[in-house]
Amino acid sequence: MSTLTITTIQSNLIWEEKSANLRLLEKKIVEIEEKTEIVILPEMFSTGFSMNPELLAETMEGETIEWMKRVSRENGVVLTGSLIIKEEDKYYNRLVWMLPNGQFGHYDKRHLFAFGEEDKHYSPGNKRLIASVKGWKINLQVCYDLRFPVWARQAPPAAGSAAGTGVEYDILIYVANWPERRSHAWKTLLCARAIENQCYVIGVNRVGSDANNIYYSGNSLVIDPLGQVLYHMADEEDVNTITLQKEVLEDVRTKFPFWKDADQFNLQ
């Protein structure tokens, strides 16, 4: 059966220092010893969660995108994480899914964190991005999106479909800068998304304090389709590689075909 090996990078970030963060993260990627296929970085990995897009935004031809292309190519991995992008006089918290051949997709964060005034500086996205690797389908989302289950919900397959047939995705990934003071919600909601969507869920968060004295405890997680935690790390920088088994996913969906009873709906 198909496997997929993924590396999560839970890192401290240097506040609004792009070049320093890129050097730091590249060193961590180069030092990965295991053979891996996907490397996941936190939200706004080149700057930290900044509300200064006018000073920090790049284009899709900018330094960080070029860095992602090079690092992905040189290390033979899919590289993903979000950064600040300017496009047509608007700013986006944009997750980029970079392939080793230089092709990429992107997802603009749908739910902007009004509590932190993100909505005053950035524009929301309106389309989901579901990538494909080795037959695995991967739904890519950003931080605050986690609180809105409809945006992540699997659209159930047509009646009579075999287990998993037509299910939208197999893995749900959240990249984040999620503060420690709300870490209980982070951990609880990640498990809930795995259980309700019968998929693997991966949450990659940063650690350390930012310039606003907000502390991030990490609590990066990998969770199986039954909601069992396969990996968890709090408060420390960590680079972790894990191999996911498609057979486990399909076995859960076959033995517990709860997806058959889901409500039909369409996301607009």
Catalytic residues: 43, 109, 143
Length reported for the chain? 268
Q: Residues 205, 178: contact at Cβ < 8 Å?
A: yes
Residues with Cβ within 8 Å of 85's Cβ and at least 6 positions away in sequence, in order, are: 57, 58, 59, 60, 91, 92, 94, 106
CB atoms under 10 Å from CB of 89, counted, come to: 6
Q: Residues 80, 173: contact at Cβ < 8 Å?
A: yes
3-state SS record for 196-258? HHCCEEEEEECEEECCCCCEEEEEEEEECCCCCEEEEEECCCEEEEEEEEHHHHHHHHHHCCH
CA distance 166 to 148: 22
3-state SS record for 108-136? ECCCCCHHHCHHHCCCCCCCCEEEEECCE
CB atoms under 10 Å from CB of 98, counted, come to: 24
Q: Residues 200, 172: contact at Cβ < 8 Å?
A: yes
C-alpha count within 13 angstroms, C-beta hemisphere, residue 250: 11
CA distance 106 to 173: 13
Pairing status of strand 200-205 against strand 215-223: antiparallel
